[in-house]
Structure 1
Amino acid sequence: MEFQETPGAGAWGEWNPTEDSARPLRGKHRVLKPRGGLARSSTVLGVGVIAAVGAGGIATAQDRPQVAISVPSLPDLLGGGDHGAGAAAQADSVTVPRQADGEQDAPTRSHGDAGEALRHRILQQAESQQDAAESQARAEAERVARESAAQEARSKKEAAEQEAEAARAAAEKAAAEKAAADQAATAQAETKAAADAGPGGGSSVKASGGWSLPTSSYTLTSHYGDSGSMWSSGHHTGLDFAAPTGTPVKAVGGGTVVSAGWSGAYGYRIVLRLQDGTEIWYCHLSSMAVTSGAVGAGDTIGRVGATGNVTGAHLHLEVRKGGSTVDPLSWLTARGLDV
């Protein structure tokens, strides 16, 4: 290759290719690029067109007015000559879309806005799906909690019902055992009372003058006037005859039963009014044989029990005159009864 030095140029002056220097080497085509200028080859043209279409959009580029671009022919590039107006006159004419003034950034903004809107929609959809999943998880947890609470409540209710049933069964059993014990005690007391009565049919509990002891087989436990917190008045108002439950209770004299029934702390009570108006109260009875009408001395009117406010089975006997209590022991003894 020959390099011709142009006067006034530097050490490397202008290089004008010859036919030998421009011949392809080893079968490969080589395009020489002049220094200081734009390589207007078909490849560069294609890249420019693609860049223009990509920046403005395919549809936008087709709608814009066409702009002519002049590209020099290959012989002009390979041969010598002027690179100015002559080369431009022989250039092939290629047109590309031209954007209007003030619209150069419009495609970019449009694409950016569309991308931002798409990203925003995707984020909204993701958030909606996450919220739905969290709501479903909360609903499932609440359902499981409600079912667990309902199951626990049912279990507690069943346990309470079982305990109540067991308590009822135990109470019924205790009541049955107590009833059986009371019945046995009553039968034993009746047998003993019959034995004490002897052939005379109960004449042993009677005294001269038509008076009778209120019961038999007893033990005196509390006397009239005893003080203590067990009595609401602060002292005892009667005489207690402790005896087995079911022991017969007798009328101390002839009179009329004027009251019979439940009387609070006295339990089951019978009030016998004698001919002189004296009232005899029989309290804490287990049963009442006579609830009204006339009775004679020694007649069975009830049985010893433990009803009302008591600490054990006994007969609480009160003697009242004019509404006031008197000592039953003194009153019975005055009528010839050996208490």
Structure 2
Amino acid sequence: MASNKPAPEAPSPFSVDTFGDEERTWEEWNPTEESIRPVRGRHRVAKQRGLARSSTVLGVGVIAAVGAGGMATAQDKAPVSISLPDSFVDNLPDAKSLPGVGSFMSQEAEAAPVVAASAPLTTAGITTAEAEQGTTDAGEALRARILQQAEQQQASADAEARAAEEAAAAEKAATEAKKQQDEAEAKAKAKIAAEKKAAKEAAAKKAEEERLAKLRASYTPPTSAYTLTSTYGQSGAMWSSGQHTGLDFAGAAGSPLKAVHGGTITSAGWSGSYGYRTVLQLDDGTEIWYAHQSSIDVSVGQRVDTGDTIGRMGATGNVTGVHLHLEVRTAGGSAMDPAAWLNSKGLGV
């Protein structure tokens, strides 16, 4: 067996080869279009075998394959051994004698031979930095870059997620702080408003107390010892109008009746169902009626001051017992609730 044994060159247009015990004579072959067709398969094999025997062409093919894949290296590929029978190899034509191949091989012969080395047949895809770090495998370099890129992308995604979480947490904290601040401000405002309201109410109450104190100094109840027996507006058959028009103070007969405020006596004497009645007109025109008196101590036109005695409690007129029937009327003559009027003057009854 022979491996890639080069074919001998023919010294002349004719050559003699031995094939077994038979000698054969070969002559130079000049293929034409007609001659190639019937023996096309044979010469294609010969042409391929001639290319396979060319180390230069083989190197170019390997480099092209490695460049396309970017992964293979000289260390990864074991040498390919092509073995043929000696009898077949000896009868193969010289590759240089084939049309077009001889010139190609002569051009390749002039070029620098390809020398196999331990480095990769191609460095496509390997960066300068990777080469300086000793990286020789383009596939591993690509894999490392892909993993590094994936790690960077994951790190970037994690950083973005953390930033989003931090931003959301900060926004939530700011919202909560704003809410607490608003609530605190609202409470503070409500407290201030309540304090102002309380202060205002206290001031109003104090002013009212001072006003009532002054009124009490100028107003007095009509009698000191009494019991309220009938109120204003009370219904009943005892009153001719069907309703009570005043306020009844029951007490001891002969108890003094006092002027509730300073004014002028406009009426003093008998008045039918009212019995003995005295009318006191105040400076603002309000009239105070004292009815059912046992006696009268003042006269018409007389000026009286707060607390002056104007008569005595009795049971004259339309009555069922000793009491003072007190009425309060406006300057126009309309009756009003005596209890409400006395209370407005600081006199609780």
| TM-score of the two chains, using structure 2 as the length reference | 0.38
Larger Rg: 2
| TM-score of the two chains, using structure 1 as the length reference | 0.39
